[in-house]
A and B are shown apart, each in its own frame.
Chain A
């Protein structure tokens, strides 16, 4: 079965500090990896996906097949980054599996 592991339920960082939200996935072929974010009182929305190799709101995520990881990083945290973050993976025909989520709290 596909698994997505986000080891931290809660991550607190000070404003301006670097952020790294961890995500590990079970290996199976060529996975598609995503980060979704849910800000307070807003809908869950796509933040970024690995195939796009993009930086959104200063966040980046690199797929490391050797470590089966897709950690989300930002060099300088901002208060508006406080949210719930979900890592998700898909593979082959549809079956998107979500991790349990990490709540990021940025301390002013």
Chain B
């Protein structure tokens, strides 16, 4: 089954803890993205990556970090510096980073703070 796989579906974070959200794709896409979705706020871009070992900050990168060591994988770490981490996180990919490219989305991870 081709596509984007995000795990876990639900994640809980304690105060001061870093947590990592997984995103894997088997679409052979060069570009990958992380969005944050809050009720009534739409999708906001956290980070994106055009190619392996490269990534760029989006609109709300503070308190987050990413890596892109493999083409298929783009994990997102929510650090303790992110003071309001409770949200629904969506990973996406596209063939390349272009404004007219179709995005393919994962099923999301709901992160909550204990």
B99 near A93 (CB under 8 angstroms)? yes
Task: Kindly state whether residue A95 has any CB partner on chain B within 8 Å.
Answer: yes
Partner of A96, one of B41, B99, B107: B99
Whether B2 is near chain A, meaning CB under 8 Å from some CB there, is: no
Q: Which of A17-74 contact B (CB under 8 A)?
A: 31-32, 36, 43-46, 49, 51
- What A residues does B98 contact at CB under 8 A? 90, 94
Distance of A95 Cα from B47 Cα, bound (Å): 11
List of A residues within 8 angstroms of B42 by Cβ: 4, 86, 98-101
Judge whether B106 and A96 touch: CB under 8 Å.
no
What is the number of contacts between chain A and chain B, taking CB atoms within 8 Å? 49
B84 within 8 A of A: no
Give the interface size bracket for B toward A: 20 to 34
Instruction: Give the CA-CA distance A41 to B42 in the complex, in Å.
Output: 17
Q: Which residues of B contact A46 (CB under 8 A)?
A: 102-103
Asked if A108 is at the interface of the complex by the 8 Å CB criterion, the answer is no
Q: Bound complex: CA of A31 vs CA of B100, how far in Å?
A: 9
Q: Which residues of A have CB within 8 Å of B99? A: 31-32, 90-96
Contacts A44-B43, A90-B98, A94-B50 known; 15 new A-B pairs at CB < 8 A: A4-B42, A43-B106, A43-B107, A44-B90, A46-B103, A49-B102, A90-B99, A94-B48, A94-B98, A95-B45, A95-B99, A96-B45, A96-B103, A100-B42, A101-B42
